[in-house]
Structure 1
């Protein structure tokens, strides 16, 4: 009898789980079938989105490639790709309701379900995450490229790692041609992380103007097409381009509320099995444990795939191990950066080599075709 694994989400965690199951589990579970469901037909390497918005730096195929093509080497009966959106999960009947991209509806039955639908930006006008279809995301990147090209004054709101990297990429490319203002709602950038002073120094070198304790209250579009940014203090800033980077929301609306934490992320145990369920697992930003991260998503995906493999062979799952320490790497343009491994600072050149040089785009083909796993 066929064992069906439904994987929801076509990004780092979802694609990673699907490939691992097909490569390593199917050889000894011959009737295994993996159904991968993704709203985006393409794998969007969102880590590079901060550079993709700069005109002329990256080609679309460097950060976005078709998912289905990467699974073509597996037997047709072993894999199915569905472009669509999860609308509901029934953990009793073990079914998932899907709205397909052609306007249809499907109900998928599963033996095991993997939740890997990640997070999205609260503001849907920015491409830091794949918030829609391939066409929607590609169009959004193109629109922002055009605006970046013509803007003389740019406000980046939110001074987490994404905000810092967006401001740095623009300032690195254009220098004094454009005034870049980075707004931090907190008293310090990066939420007061120990890297804050190092990163502040890098931003200063690039000419980025950092405003601390400057939380955005509202924005308005003027008749001239500019954006008026209103701070909680009442101060108003008029800018040619406003790029919000704060606020991530988990894509969990399709799930029963009792499977979620108070912050709407999926509640998991040490095995990354969803609490209160049987044969339901989760990995990636949707669990936000300890936070969203490319490296953590990959480790979690590996752990979930291993545990499904163990259960299918009648064995007990094992606790999922990720990283022994908290790691943070922040690229500040295309030559420098700041980072730490636990409490130990990492040299700028190392952050550049590990992250800032390419933002990982050389790994995209391997994720798409499974050779990275």
Structure 2
């Protein structure tokens, strides 16, 4: 009987453990040995759920864990926690690892037949005075969430019930606005600082302005067009304020929401191919370009953008799990591909829902596309039905062909998931004219007779015709 091959997985969250689990479903332990290495103490958890744990929507952190280490091991996966990979040797077909805390003398080499790199992403942490002070928190892992929650509870216990509590969030992207909401719900006065013109640079500025206004109404102070220069510290070296170029904002704690970058330092040192954002480049089977035995998926890769034709870095658990399924299927002897993304994302701050898919105006220009835009205001339900709420939809279409390029939606309950209609239309390469005839579900509790997405498509189609006439 032939010796079992060895699959080594670096990273124990969505992409890595999905790959390991899928490969195990297809190949038995006697055929494929699976070793998964995780430098932390948790596996298969929802990073996206951490703000809702902090805010109190999720009360038990175990609810964020899809599969525990014990469950993985019961499926014949050799999962090793607190184990860090320190070097890759692609030509030698091996990696160097050590158990965390063992020191350099505890390092050893482990060979592989198949290597899966699922190292995820790291939070952006600018090199500023005081950035590593106690009271400054990133939000990327379960350990980050526990540390932030413990700090919040200590701060709340040490202050009188009516004493003001202040928090500063640096960065107004998805994590930033979600953490702002979580802190508001815990009774904090929240200031959000960002260098961009408007919050949510995943939207065009005109749509980001709607988010800013809604945050203001919720009591969140949003300061844009500003650059953070330092975190000021006080007693015990703890953060007490955040300084910008022209002001200082008091803070009992600071949360960093500046986004993430691919964690690909080991891959870079090993000479593996990286894209513009620093993510690993793969083929459609998620195999690292130029390597037959190395695969990569999750937040450490760049993937094709089906709208622009370029590669892009998109750090989302939805994609990471799909990458893992594709990798595990291929290593397990099957065949699967990941064709790419259209850039769909949805979020909320309090009762405001924020969604986008496809390209922003700036991204369309960078891709060399000429386009028209259309923005409409409608309602989530029939205007006469109780609970109807305003919704803004912005649509971008290619100037000559009318091909849909992107959609952004900002509104109240019922707004966010409407972006899925646009995501399907983008994936299908539809024109805005074709979209106007989509047979969407209608009843007054769910939509006006003309759904807001279709109203925007009608207006965009008219703009395309007008542009063609000139």
Cα distance in 2 between the residues matched to 1:86 and 1:253: 11
Which of 15, 18, 21 aligns to 1:19? It is 21
**SS in structure 2 of the partner of residue 53 of structure 1:** helix
* Structure 1 residues 161-172: aligned runs within 5 Å: 161-172=174-185
Is 1:138 equivalent to 2:137 in the alignment?
no
- Does the CA-based 8 Å contact 1:172-1:206 persist in structure 2? no
Matched, 1:270 2:284: yes
Question: After the TM superposition, which residues 158-307 of structure 1 pair with which residues of structure 2 at under 5 Å, given as runs?
Answer: 158-174=171-187, 178-191=188-201, 193-194=203-204, 195-223=207-235, 225-231=238-244, 233-257=245-269, 258-259=271-272, 260-261=274-275, 263-289=277-303, 290=312, 291-307=314-330
Q: Name the counterpart of 1:367.
A: none
CA contact (8 A) 1:284 1:297 kept: yes
- 1 CA distance for matches of 2:112 and 2:254? 43
Question: CA contact under 8 A between 1:329 and 1:351: conserved in structure 2?
Answer: no
Residues 192 and 250 of structure 1: CA distance in aligned 2, closer, same or farther (over 3 Å): closer
Gaps of 5+ in 1: 355-373
How far the C-alpha of 1:300 sits from its partner, in A, is: 1.8
Cα 1:340–1:141 shift into 2, 3 Å = same
The CA deviation at 1:153 is: 1.6
TM-score (norm 2): 0.64
For 2:53, the equivalent position in structure 1 comes to 52
- Counterpart of 1:357? none
SS of structure 1 residue aligned to 2:413 = helix
For residue 6 of structure 1, report the CA deviation from its aligned partner.
Answer: 0.7
Superposition RMSD in Å: 2.9
CA distance in 2, matches of 1:88, 1:204: 47
Distance of 1:80 and 1:88 partners within structure 2: 20
Matching residue of 2:77: 79
Describe the shift of the 1:303–1:55 C-alpha distance in structure 2 as closer, same or farther (beyond 3 A): closer
Task: Give the secondary-structure state (helix, strand or coil) at the position aligned to 1:246.
Answer: coil
SS of aligned partner of 1:41 = coil
Residue 138 to residue 351, structure 1, CA distance change in 2 (3 Å) = farther
Q: Per the alignment, do residues 137 and 181 of structure 1 end up closer, same or farther by CA in structure 2, a change over 3 Å counting?
A: closer
Q: 2:352 touches 2:411 (CA, 8 Å); kept in 1?
A: no
Query: Structure 2: how far apart are the matches of 1:137 and 1:154?
Result: 16
**Residue 7 of structure 1 contacts residue 36 of structure 1 at CA under 8 Å; is this kept in 2?**
yes
Given the two structures, how large is their TM-score scaled by the length of structure 1?
A: 0.79
Alpha-carbon spacing, 1:127–1:67, altered in 2? closer, same or farther (3 Å) = farther
Quote the offset at 1:299 in angstroms: 1.9
Task: Point out the more displaced range, 44-53 or 113-122.
Answer: 44-53
> Over residues 82-109 of structure 1, what are the superposed CA-to-partner deviations in whole Å (9 max), with x where a residue is unaligned?
1201101110111011111462334221
Q: Which has the larger radius of gyration?
A: 2
- CA 1:52 to 1:22, structure 2 compared with 1: closer, same or farther past 3 Å? same
- Superposed CA deviations along residues 258-290 of structure 1, whole A, max 9, x for unmatched, are 213454322323332212323101101101433
Structure 1 CA distance, aligned partners of 2:326 and 2:266? 24
Partner in structure 1 of residue 97 of structure 2? 98
In structure 1, C-alpha distance between the alignment counterparts of 2:145 and 2:124, rounded to whole Å: 15
Mark the runs of 5 or more structure 2 residues left unpaired by the alignment. Answer: 126-131, 304-311, 359-406, 419-470
Contact 2:54–2:182 (CA under 8 A) maintained in structure 1: no
8 Å CA contact 2:203–2:408 kept in 1: the answer is no
